[in-house]
Amino acid sequence: LGRELYVFEQVNSTNDLAKKKAAEGASHGTVVVADQQLSGRGRLGRPWASPPGTGLWFSVVLRPPLKPFLAPQLIFVSAVAVCHAIRDYTGLPVTIKWPNDILFSGKKVCGILTELSAEIDIINYVVIGIGINVNQEMADFPPELQEKAISLAVAGNTKYNRVGLLKAILKELEKEYEIYLTEGFPAVLKHWRSLTSTLGQEVMVSSTDETFTGVAEDINGEGCLLVRTEDGNVRSVMVGDVSLRGK
Ligand code: BTN
């Protein structure tokens, strides 16, 4: 990954640019990285704050030999890779929150936005967009993020080299992607389970049309979160947001 690499000072969104490059034929492994995004995008249509000088904002183009319905599995591949790489590079005990946020002591250090372009039977490309709060001070975060976000620098009380971290992540992503293709999704889920802090927790789940609470018991073979609600039923959540209850 990263043999074809585009570096920008400022873009609207590295995901948008990576999708454009992919549509124009960019090869598997192409990386688009920017120091600043003017309209960085998050999951579920949210904006993603991407100021200059402090964060790592980048997107990777993948061309997996998979049926489109399997594309969501890459969400778990990327979460495992990023979590491992941050742990190795910084020594910080970061964890995964279902499906693919990376947390440090309950606060978000990294978000991942996966986007797919497919025909009925084949994937054209997948763009994995990764945003990491690397060197921000707490005061750099907008008021609404103060409670929810943290940077690696604040967590580790030291600044980190963004290029070094990018390299570490690309290496780890290449490795986990290879494991996924050769050993299959169960191997990835096993890694994911060993890195998550969501399982066993009381959670509040918000999906597009409802909110409910329960205990996050496991993920199934498709990566859906299995939540046991108060009435004892288990609900399987495919898309949505989870937060620890009361937070
Ligand atoms: C989320 O947690 O909601 C996902 C955030 C993803 C942000 C990254 S930053 C690089 C890439 N470009 C974007 O516009 N978004 C992703």
> Which atom of ligand 1 lies at the shortest distance from residue 13's CA?
14
Record the tokens describing residue 220, joined without a space. 């199934």
> Which atom of ligand 1 lies at the shortest distance from residue 16's CA?
14
149-176: b (≥16 Cβ within 10 Å) or e:
bbbbbbbeeeebebeebbebbbbbbeeb
Q: What are the E-state strand segments in 75-122?
A: 95-97, 101-104, 107-118
Lining ligand 1 with CB less than 6 A are: 13-15, 37, 40-43, 46, 48, 50, 57-59, 101, 111-113, 129-131
Distance 179 CA to ligand 1 centre (A): 24
Q: What is the pLDDT of residue 245?
A: 63
220 has binding-site annotation: no
Alpha-carbon distance of 126 to 224, in angstroms, equals 20
Mutation pick for ligand 1 pocket among 113, 151, 239 (CB with most ligand atoms within 8 Å): 113
Residue 226: burial class (beta carbons within 10 Å; 0-12, 13-18, 19+): middle
Q: What is the pLDDT of residue 209?
A: 80
Q: Express each pLDDT in 186-236 by its tens digit.
A: 999 999 999 999 999 999 999 778 899 999 999 999 899 999 999 999 999
Task: Give percent of the chain with pLDDT exceeding 70.
Answer: 99
Q: What are the E-state strand segments in 183-245?
A: 202-206, 211-219, 225-228, 234-237, 241-244
pLDDT at 136 over 80: yes
Please choose, from the candidates 97, 188, 96, 90, the residue with its C-alpha nearest in 3D space to the C-alpha of residue 135. 90
Q: What is the pLDDT of residue 235?
A: 94
pLDDT at 239 over 90: no
What ipTM was predicted for this assembly? 0.99
Phi-psi region of 29 (alpha: psi -120 to 50; beta: other; left: phi over 0): left
**Among protein residues, the one whose CA lies closest to atom 2 of ligand 1:** 111
Domains and CATH numbers, the chain: 5-195 (3.30.930.10), 202-244 (2.30.30.100)
